[in-house]
Amino acid sequence: AQSVTQLDSQVPVFEEAPVELRCNYSSSVSVYLFWYVQYPNQGLQLLLKYLSGSTLVKGINGFEAEFNKSQTSFHLRKPSVHISDTAEYFCAVSDRGAQKLVFGQGTRLTINP
């Protein structure tokens, strides 16, 4: 069964600093990969997704992620964070042709002024 590991439960950074949130998944079969963001008391919103093609994927709010098949990773990055990026970020994976989205435990990103 698929599993997703988000290596950091919390990441504190200063405003305008770069950030990387790490995500590794278990399966070596073809997968679709997603990053979602959850603001306080809200549902999850899609940040970006990798389905095929270029391994560097750009999403909303200046975020991007790179798919690395050999390392089974899909790390999320932003070159300069803003206070409004404070939220919880979830990595998710689904096997191609399957319906199930399996989520990681989430990483809480805290931006300090």
Partner 1 sequence: DAGVIQSPRHEVTEMGQEVTLRCKPISGHNSLFWYRQTMMRGLELLIYFNNNVPIDDSGMPEDRFSAKMPNASFSTLKIQPSEPRDSAVYFCASSLDRGLGEAFFGQGTRLTVV
Q: Which of 23, 44, 76, 111 binds partner 1 (CB under 8 A)?
A: 44
Tokens of 113: 């002024």
Instruction: Tell me how crowded residue 28 is: count the other CB atoms within 10 A of its CB.
Output: 9
Q: Which of residues 56-95 bind partner 1 (CB under 8 A)?
A: 90, 94-95
Find the shortest distance in angstroms from Cβ 17 to partner 1.
27
Query: Is residue 49 a contact point for partner 1 (CB under 8 A)?
Result: yes
Q: Which of 26, 42, 84, 112 binds partner 1 (CB under 8 A)?
A: 42
Query: Is residue 51 a contact point for partner 1 (CB under 8 A)?
Result: yes
Q: What CA–CA distance (Å, rounded) separates 3 from 80?
A: 29
Query: Is residue 108 a contact point for partner 1 (CB under 8 A)?
Result: no
Q: Which of 19, 102, 109, 111 binds partner 1 (CB under 8 A)?
A: 102
Q: What CA–CA distance (Å, rounded) separates 18 from 21?
A: 10
Query: Is residue 98 a contact point for partner 1 (CB under 8 A)?
Result: yes
Residues lying near partner 1 in the complex (CB under 8 A) are found at 32, 34, 36, 41-46, 49, 51, 90, 94-106
